[in-house]
Structures are given as C-alpha cells and as structure tokens.
Amino acid sequence: MGTQVSNAAAGPERSPFLQSHFTEMVQQFDAAKIGMWLFLVTEVLLFGGLFVGYGIMHASHPEAFKAAHHHLDRTMGALNTIVLLVSSFTMVMAVWSASVNKKKLVVLFLVLTILLAGAFLVVKYFEYSHKFHDGLLPGKFYTHQGDTVPGQFLFFSFYFMMTGLHGIHVLAGMIALTWLLRRALRGDFGAGYYGPVDLVGLYWHLVDMIWIYLFPLMYLIS
C-alpha cells in the first residue's frame, strides 16, 4: 500500500482526490474521460454485434419477425422509453448541480435517476413475466402455440438477449449511481471535483441511447 499513499501529499495544494501518479486534476480528469469514452466505444461495439446479428436474421426471416413482434406491448415499451429519457434529463441535472456546487440538488437528482431506473426495471419485469407466461421464450424454451409463421422464436431469442443485456447495463448503472449517491451524501462533489458524476452520466446516456435504438427495432417493425 505504501506505493499509493507515499506521494499523496507531495504538493501543498494537492487535492485529496488526486492520485499519486498524476500531477494535476486536469490531467487525471482527462485520463478518466478518455478511459470512459473508450469504454463506451467497447459497449457500442458489444451491442453492435447483436444489432448486426438481429439485422441479418431479420432480413432472412422478415415475416417471422413481423408476426412475432405483435406479441410485444407497445404501450409498455413507449412508457419505458419515456422513463429512460426523463432519467437522462435528471442525470444531466445532477451533473449541472455538481458543477454549480449545489450539493443538495446533486443528491436529489441522483435519487430521482435511481428511482427512474428502478421504474424501468419494474415495467420490464411485468413485460417479461407476461412473455414467460405465454411461452414466448428464447431458443429451445419457446413453447408458444399457434404460430402461423415458422421461426418466430428467433425474434424472441434476440428480444431476450438484447433487452436482457440492456437490463444488466441498467442494473450496473443503478449500482454506479448508488455509489455516486453515497459519495454525494458525504459531500465529495462540488464545483472543484465532479468528474465521477460526469462520467457515470456519460455511461447512463449511452444506456438510454441503446434503448432508444432497441425500442423501434423491437416494438415498431412495420
């Protein structure tokens, strides 16, 4: 541990949040920002693979995909889209509050964002349990009766893989937001230091954006 602690107080005005191998906060923030953007790139590519797979399977089974998507509940999907869009807004507000040093507002907006994320998962839970009940499950677990077009299970394979992976990302976002909330309650974030809020915000917008692509792709095939 000596390596970490040793240089922490090298300069007189060194911020307590500055790690020993950086010389100034700007440098540390730049590094973190580059790191986060690169991470987001990998996330886009991860989902990109699924989107390409979906596109290819959709192109080879257009009728099956069209028939299958009628089982999805557009109202719930639209509701979730709105929930996530609002949560993006509250996230932006949390970052802004930190940047103008309004520490209480940071806490408020983080709580709102976490609640909205939770709401998204609750809606998703109802959608999933309805599908489970109807036997609209991926791959070999697909037991739904009375399909007119063969291959509909392919649609549900992708539906569950893509919304499932997205759901895991929402969950990870909630964990990150809760961590932020803990630090915000401690009063860590203010005009001088709010990098983590900013970066988790970036991640959260990406999670929203992926949903904005998923929604029309899954719910609005025409």
Partner 1 sequence: MENVSSATLHGSGHAAHHGDYLEDPKGLRSWLTTVDHKRIGIMYMWSVIFFMVVGGLLALLLRLELLTPKQTLITAEMYNRVFTLHGAVMVFLVIIPGIPAALGNFALPLLLGAKDVAFPRLNLFSYYLYVTGALMALCTLLLGGVDTGWTFYTPYSTTTGGGVTLMVLAAFVLGFSSIFTGVNFIATVHTLRAPGMGWFEMPLFCWSMYATALIQILATPVLGITLLLLVMERVMGVGIFDPQLGGDPVLFQHFFWFYSHPAVYIMILPAMAVISEVIPTFSKKTIFGYKAIAFSSIAIALLGFLVWAHHMFTAGMSLFAGAIFSFLTFFIAIPSAIKVFNWIATMWRGSISLRAPMIYAISFLLMFTIGGLTGLFLASLATDVHLHDTYFVVAHFHYVMAGSNLVALLAGIHYWWPKMFGRMYNDKLASVGAALVFLGFNATFLPQFVMGSRGMPRRYYNYLPEFQGLHIASTIGSWILASGLFLGLAVLIASLMKPKEQLARNPWGGRTLEWETASPPTTHNFDEPIALRHGPYDYRPVEEIEASEGVTR
Position 39 contacts partner 1 (CB under 8 A): yes
Position 198 contacts partner 1 (CB under 8 A): no
Burial class (CB in 10 A: 0-12, 13-18, 19+), 123: middle
Position 25 contacts partner 1 (CB under 8 A): no
Tokens linked to 161: 């893989």
Position 48 contacts partner 1 (CB under 8 A): yes
User: Closest by alpha carbon to 203, among 87, 73, 36?
Assistant: 36
Position 101 contacts partner 1 (CB under 8 A): no
CA distances from 174 to 168, 169, 177 (A): 10, 9, 5
SS3 at position 221: coil
Q: 190 pairs with which residues across the strands?
A: 193
Within 61-194, residue ranges assigned H as helices are: 62-69, 74-99, 103-134, 152-186
Q: Which is nearer to partner 1, 28 or 97 (CB)?
A: 28
CB of 132 to partner 1, least distance (A): 14
For residues 128-157, which are near partner 1 according to CB under 8 A? 138-141, 150-151, 153-154, 157
Position 10 contacts partner 1 (CB under 8 A): yes
For 204, what's the count of Cα atoms within 13 Å in the CB-facing half-sphere? 31
Q: Which is nearer to partner 1, 55 or 216 (CB)?
A: 55
Point out which span in 25-33, 66-74, 171-179, 202-210 binds partner 1 (CB under 8 A): 25-33
Position 124 contacts partner 1 (CB under 8 A): no
Binding footprint of partner 1 on the chain (CB under 8 A)? 1-10, 19-22, 27, 30-32, 34-35, 38-39, 41-43, 45-50, 53, 56-57, 60-61, 64, 138-141, 150-151, 153-154, 157-158, 161
